[in-house]
A and B are shown apart, each in its own frame.
Chain A
Amino acid sequence: MNWKTWLAAATLGLALGQTALADREILNVSYDPTRELYEAFNKKFTEHWKQETGETITVRQSHGGAGKQTRAIIDGLEADVATLALAYDIDAISEKTGIIPGDWQTRLPHNSAPYTSTIVFLVREGNPKNLKDWDDLLKPGVEVITPNPKTSGGARWNYLAAWAYAEKKYGSEEKARQFVGKLYKQVPVLDSGARGATTTFVKRGIGDVLLAWENEALLSINKLGRGDFEIVVPSISILAEPPVTVLDKNAEKHGTTDIAKAYLDYLYSPVGQELAGKNYYRPVDPEYASKYAGTFPEVNLVTVNEAFGGWQNAQRTHFNDGGVFDQIYKPE
């Protein structure tokens, strides 16, 4: 080939590259445990969009620790939709960037959470230490695995679930503080993220019980060792509502607002709800909730709003520097 052929080939390649780029794409920035869900959902949605409009689109996906993903959006990662773990994180986006309005959470049904989850115990087969409820975790010699709430969003739910239980049962904040303090004395390793903690428990065989998202616990049973683990549902746990939102200004800039909106609506559709249930999230649609009722045991759930006065409050009191969690570890 002479240089002209090369040039022609290069131009053609560039042109092809251009057409490939001309496909519209949206970016969904999410947290760790939703990988399997969105992998399946993105496929369904692109098919659905193609059927409805004839347009071929690409949905790009980014996963990571919830806090880190939120920071990336704040610092300029131009996601079109955010599907994160806590309303607190999306509040931070609204507050610090103005990409979305402050009332974002009212824009979609169910507090903008198309699926929910809760915190359960994952124990080893046969439940050898006979752990039934939060109280049992304080028994001497029981090792509890949970990640570090300062670096992991999931760990904050674990912590708050334990607190909510103790406050209800023992009736005072002081007692709850003591309870949670004792609980963390039983923790031999504080992994930096939720999936790290699961690996420590499941793969490395450390600890008697793992505090985990329900969807994570079900996933690890089904993916990592059917028959090696069991789920124990405590008497009280917390209702986790992972919220979703369109990031208005980014989507406007990319000219993808229509796709982004349709994408989130589709999460609430039968297809989305079905996939949520299949991936161990509790569907919010009553029809699909009852369909998957067998997968999800009934739990007495409290919400962050009623028990802690919202995430802003919970974060400030418990997890910020000098908060209750820090005090637990202060050496006497």
Chain B
Amino acid sequence: MATLEINVSRVTERAVSEAPWLRRLLVGIALVFLLAFLLVPLFLVFREAFSQGARVYLAALSNPDARHAIKLTLTAAAVAVPLNVIFGLAAAWAISKFRFRGKQVMITLIDLPFAVSPVIAGLIYVLLFGSRGWLGPWLENNGLHIIYAVPGIVLATVFVTFPFVARELIPVMQEQGVTHEEAALTLGAGGWQTFWRVTLPSVKWGLLYGVILCNARAMGEFGAVSVVSGHIRGKTNTLPLHVEILYNEYEFAAAFACASLLALLAVATLIAKSALEYKHQRDRERSLRAAARQEEP
């Protein structure tokens, strides 16, 4: 009995996977590609960052202007990401679970912020909120500042990261269809309950990727934010803008130090994701084992 099982699993293993040489080749190609396009540029950034030693590196990061920039960057991301998560879930739900006219247009509209050049992304807010813009005079009369102040930076960040969560969720939800939700609803679950207990768990990886991408992009955005920031030191400079300032002051090591910090922030979120994934896998294995034990007798 036992041997038969092993044979079967070996046969299916062969049928659903590739020959070892092909596997190695594919891994090899993928790694070479990533090495050339990601690892080497990243290495360069870190090499430059430490080119004048760790002291300069740490000094660059503990400078008050840098610290303020880090804080502002984190603030912008902390507002933009949750907003876009809520939107992403709503949009993906509507688009993947229902049929309606204009769905294509809706999806394409969601993609559009990607296609908008950062130069334009900043400009549109200037056209709206600038002192010669549509709402500018009104804002000025009420003493409100949007552009060249923190709200403008947050808005620009929301705009450039707008599509991430939605676009990550839509294909995953479409893949899954509606059968699970329908089953839950037939069994008497409420709408929100179905969403929390059935839909959300099944799309959590897609959601997580979306959040991670959204967050990474929110922290790294340069072009659009640069247009609406006004570059006031210690006030409206985000970390990417601070990098530019340092680079333009010929403080190359300090500039790359701040850039490397952004890379590290991104990698840190990814490590958090990996840890979650690992825990999730272990939990599943444990419950599978428990289930197997129950079935044994």
Does B bind A? yes
Partner-B contacts on A (CB < 8 A): 27, 29, 32, 35-36, 60-64, 68-69, 71-72, 74-78, 96-97, 193, 195, 199, 203, 219-220, 223-224
Q: Measured between C-beta atoms, what is the minimum distance from B249 to chain A in Å? A: 6
Which residue of A27, A36, A193 contacts B249 across the interface (Cβ within 8 Å)? A36
Q: Measured between C-beta atoms, what is the minimum distance from B149 to chain A in Å? A: 9
CB pair B233–A61 under 8 Å, yes or no, is yes
Check B126 for interface membership: any CB of A closer than 8 A: yes
CB pair A75–B147 under 8 Å, yes or no, is yes
CB pair B131–A97 under 8 Å, yes or no, is yes
Which residue of A62, A97, A203 contacts B231 across the interface (Cβ within 8 Å)? A62
Q: In the assembly, what is the distance between CA of A27 and CA of B252, in Å?
A: 26
Q: In the assembly, what is the distance between CA of A60 and CA of B232, in Å?
A: 7
CB pair B233–A75 under 8 Å, yes or no, is no
Which residue of A60, A199, A224 contacts B234 across the interface (Cβ within 8 Å)? A60
A60-B234, A199-B250 are known; give 20 further A-B pairs, CB within 8 A. Answer: A27-B232, A29-B230, A35-B245, A61-B232, A63-B245, A64-B231, A68-B227, A69-B231, A74-B131, A75-B130, A75-B148, A76-B148, A78-B148, A96-B132, A195-B248, A195-B250, A199-B247, A203-B252, A219-B250, A223-B250
**Interface-central residue, B147, B226, B232, B247, by most chain A CB under 10 Å:** B232
B252 — which chain A residues lie within 8 A by C-beta?
203
CB pair B148–A72 under 8 Å, yes or no, is yes
Check B235 for interface membership: any CB of A closer than 8 A: yes
Q: In the assembly, what is the distance between CA of A32 and CA of B248, in Å?
A: 8
Chain B interface size, under 10 / 10 to 19 / 20 to 34 / 35 or more: 20 to 34
Number of A-B residue pairs, CB cutoff 8 Å, is: 66
CB pair B250–A75 under 8 Å, yes or no, is no
CB pair A35–B248 under 8 Å, yes or no, is yes
CB pair A76–B140 under 8 Å, yes or no, is yes
A76-B131 in contact given A63-B248, A223-B250 (Cβ < 8 Å): yes
Check B136 for interface membership: any CB of A closer than 8 A: yes
Q: Measured between C-beta atoms, what is the minimum distance from B223 to chain A in Å? A: 12
A74-B132 in contact given A220-B250, A223-B250 (Cβ < 8 Å): yes
Q: Measured between C-beta atoms, what is the minimum distance from B259 to chain A in Å? A: 15
CB pair A224–B250 under 8 Å, yes or no, is yes
B230 — which chain A residues lie within 8 A by C-beta?
29, 62, 72, 77
A75-B126 in contact given A96-B132, A97-B131 (Cβ < 8 Å): yes
CB pair A62–B233 under 8 Å, yes or no, is yes
Q: In the assembly, what is the distance between CA of A32 and CA of B245, in Å?
A: 9
**Interface-central residue, A29, A72, A74, A224, by most chain B CB under 10 Å:** A72
A75 — which chain B residues lie within 8 A by C-beta?
126, 130-133, 136, 147-148
